[in-house]
Structure 1
Amino acid sequence: MTALLPLHDESDHRPGSPALVLVAHGSRDPRTLATVHTLLDRIRELRPGLRVHLGHIELNEPLLPDTLAALGDDEAILVPLLLSRGYHIKQDIPEMAATARARTRVAAPLGPHPLLVETLYTRLAEAGWRTPTTESARRSTAVILAAAGSRDPDAATDTGRTATLLATRLRVPVLPAYASAASPTVPEAIRTLRSQGVRNIALASYFTAPGRFARECAEATPGIAAAPLGAHPLMARLLLHRYDETETRAPLKPALAVAS
């Protein structure tokens, strides 16, 4: 098992700590909202007394500007439920905080991180993944890491780093592929692996919740397809880790810096 980075004691909470605002993208799929609320519950269980709020970038209420307005002068750390850098991390969330004149900082995206890799491994195991035990089996096995995709090259860099970490964990090659806005697509990745003689192809679902992209990627896969990351307990721990590292980095100030 991959060694996981130590986190703060989950039960530790200092009076006067900034609020944690979980920033979700928003979705028309009700399973996404259910996932978000389960994660909120798990964060509250891990850190009793921490003020925890929710704000969406679009599509669902409460929207992030409304959440920030309700906080008034209270300090808050915005923790994006997003897996890589991209437009939402670099532009949308900081601009919403600046417009609200809120006392906030924005935490780094969730990935890459060992806790994400361990969650991906767990979801694969739940779907039936077994690590190949022989060299010949490893040569004929690979995993596709299916992600949403972005035109921002930093997003592909972050996804690629997660793929590298997952390959180390699984001891087989892991090839990133995307549902939109980037290449290769999952079918393209499958063709590439087939051309290299790979017969056993599994899919790791690098999505925070079920939805159309996750379903389409799974349906295109010839082998086992893992469930999305979802509300796995390690995801709640990772969200708190991003909160903790941002809280200790620098004093809070109105609106801007994004933790890296």
Structure 2
Amino acid sequence: MTSIPLVIVAHGSRDPRSAATVRALTDVTRAAAPGVDVRAAFLDLSEPSVAEVLTGLHAEGHREVVAVPLLLGRAYHARVDLPALVDEVTSRLPRLSVTIADVLGADPLLEAVALDRLAATGADTADPALGVVLGAVGSSHATANAVVARLARDWENRHGCLVVPAFASAARPDVPAAVAKLRARGARRFAVASWFLAPGLLPDRIQDLITTAAPGSPVAGPLGAEPRVAEVVLARYTSALAASARTA
């Protein structure tokens, strides 16, 4: 065992494209850090579960693990679900120590990927008549939504187009309301940027709604299994290791 294992923890989805993307990102991360044992686990709806992966690592002889939440915000899954699952496993396996890293968050590398995905649709972010809908999951935790809203403001200030967030669930504005806001501010053309890590039911909802609200608008793909996403995952892993060493 040459390193402390890194477990990439994703939410999970009924859509098989989501888990496939997480597994592909796990492969990209593993290739970027060949000395690190990198595995994927899911909170719900996809396999293997967090408990299965942690229990398996313990059975292989590992006594320390770093779990990196593949999440863009510190909402319920990061603050409650994952810690509870880890506590349940370590209560059964007291010799196993699991450090939970920070979420990926609004990292500049992820912003760059999202902007590249948007540019790939042909949208020109320097166009002052372009209205960008920044599609995101949405949360009942207002702080998580505020991160997306702040990201939209930052993009607008740095580029030239108009940007408004739109949430697929649990928060406002939704896509039609975001398009209405952009139109009221003078947007004549529209595009959708994706603040999603993988394809799935919620990104599809954003796409379906823009088809009605602003037909013909291009829709960017999710961040996906991209080397820069893997770089952020590894940065969170390294930071967690450093923090754990300081408190040891």
Residue 139 (structure 2) pairs with residue 157 (structure 1): no
Query: Is the contact made by 1:75 and 1:252 (CA closer than 8 Å) also made in structure 2?
Result: no
Q: Distance in 2 between matches of 1:110 and 1:52?
A: 16
Out of 192, 196, 200, the position equivalent to 1:203 is: 192
Structure 2 match to 1:246: 240
Structure 2 match to 1:171: 160
Out of 191, 207, 218, the position equivalent to 2:207 is: 218
Q: How far apart are residue 253 of structure 1 and its match?
A: 8.1
Q: How far apart are residue 164 of structure 1 and its match?
A: 3.4
Residue 17 (structure 2) pairs with residue 31 (structure 1): yes
Out of 99, 107, 121, the position equivalent to 1:127 is: 121
Q: Distance in 2 between matches of 1:125 and 1:195?
A: 24
Aligned AA (1:240): L
Residue 71 (structure 2) pairs with residue 85 (structure 1): no
Aligned AA (2:227): P
Q: How far apart are residue 174 of structure 1 and its match?
A: 1.9
Q: How far apart are residue 172 of structure 1 and its match?
A: 2.4
Provide the identity percentage.
38
Cα displacement string for residues 37-66 of structure 1 (whole angstroms, at most 9, x for unaligned residues): 110111111000201112110111110011
**Structure 1: gaps of 5 or more residues:** 1-14, 255-260
* 1:44-123 matched pairs, under 5 angstroms: 44-72=30-58, 73-101=62-90, 102-123=96-117
Give TM-score, length-normalised by structure 1: 0.84
Aligned AA (1:228): P
Structure 1 SS opposite 2:219 = coil
Query: Is the contact made by 1:141 and 1:172 (CA closer than 8 Å) also made in structure 2?
Result: yes
Structure 2 SS opposite 1:130 = coil
Query: Is the contact made by 1:57 and 1:63 (CA closer than 8 Å) also made in structure 2?
Result: yes
Q: How far apart are residue 168 of structure 1 and its match?
A: 4.4
Displacement over 4 Å in runs of 4+ = none
Q: Distance in 2 between matches of 1:216 and 1:163?
A: 20
Structure 1 SS opposite 2:24 = helix
Query: Is the contact made by 1:160 and 1:176 (CA closer than 8 Å) also made in structure 2?
Result: yes
Structure 1 SS opposite 2:243 = coil
Cα displacement string for residues 63-112 of structure 1 (whole angstroms, at most 9, x for unaligned residues): 00111111225211111111101111001101111111141111111111
Structure 2 match to 1:257: none
Instruction: Give the structure with the higher percent helix.
Output: 2
Aligned residue pairs total 235
Cα displacement string for residues 6-51 of structure 1 (whole angstroms, at most 9, x for unaligned residues): xxxxxxxxx7432100001111111111101110111111000201
Aligned AA (1:69): T
Q: How far apart are residue 226 of structure 1 and its match?
A: 0.5
Residue 11 (structure 2) pairs with residue 22 (structure 1): no
Quick one: structure 1 residues 131 and 154, their matched pair in 2 at CA, closer, same or farther if it must change by over 3 Å?
closer
Give TM-score, length-normalised by structure 2: 0.88
Query: Is the contact made by 1:39 and 1:236 (CA closer than 8 Å) also made in structure 2?
Result: yes
Q: Distance in 1 between matches of 2:39 and 2:180?
A: 44
Structure 1 vs Structure 2 CA RMSD = 1.9
Q: Distance in 2 between matches of 1:16 and 1:32?
A: 30
**Structure 2: gaps of 5 or more residues:** 91-95
Query: Is the contact made by 1:20 and 1:243 (CA closer than 8 Å) also made in structure 2?
Result: yes
Query: Is the contact made by 1:19 and 1:74 (CA closer than 8 Å) also made in structure 2?
Result: no
